[in-house]
Amino acid sequence: MAVPALRRAGLVAPHGDGPGIETGVMPSRDGQPRAIPVIRVTDLEGSLERVTAGGGTVAVEPFTLPGVGRGCYILDPAGLLIGLHTYTTESD
């Protein structure tokens, strides 16, 4: 499937400041680099409720990113680590 088709299917996030999925490459306990998808959400607490209702668990409780917003990390039911972040807008 070509990129435009993937984009139409919602599988490729737009570039720039729009909503989408970001990725962080971070060291892990075993020393190997890991890519952690980070999903931008508008309601962190509501998202956590939906995660736990769907069988996921909270891996890192919500925290504040000064000047940026708030975040947390969850494990989906298959054990995949995913970040959830909400960002502060300039008007906040």
Q: What is the pLDDT of residue 92?
A: 46
Burial of 47 (0-12, 13-18, 19+ CB in 10 A): middle
Q: Distance (Å, rounded) from C-alpha 90 to C-alpha 71? A: 18
Q: Give kind and range of the element (H or E) at residue 39.
A: strand 33-40
Question: Closest by alpha carbon to 69, among 51, 52, 90?
Answer: 90
Question: What are the pLDDT digits (tens) for 53-77?
Answer: 999 999 999 999 888 899 999 998 8
Question: What are the pLDDT digits (tens) for 24-49?
Answer: 666 676 777 777 888 888 899 999 99
Amino acid found at 51: V
More confident residue, 21 or 88: 88
- What's the pLDDT band for 19 if we cut at 50, 70, 90? low
Mean of the per-residue pLDDT values of the chain: 76
Q: What is the pLDDT of residue 36?
A: 84
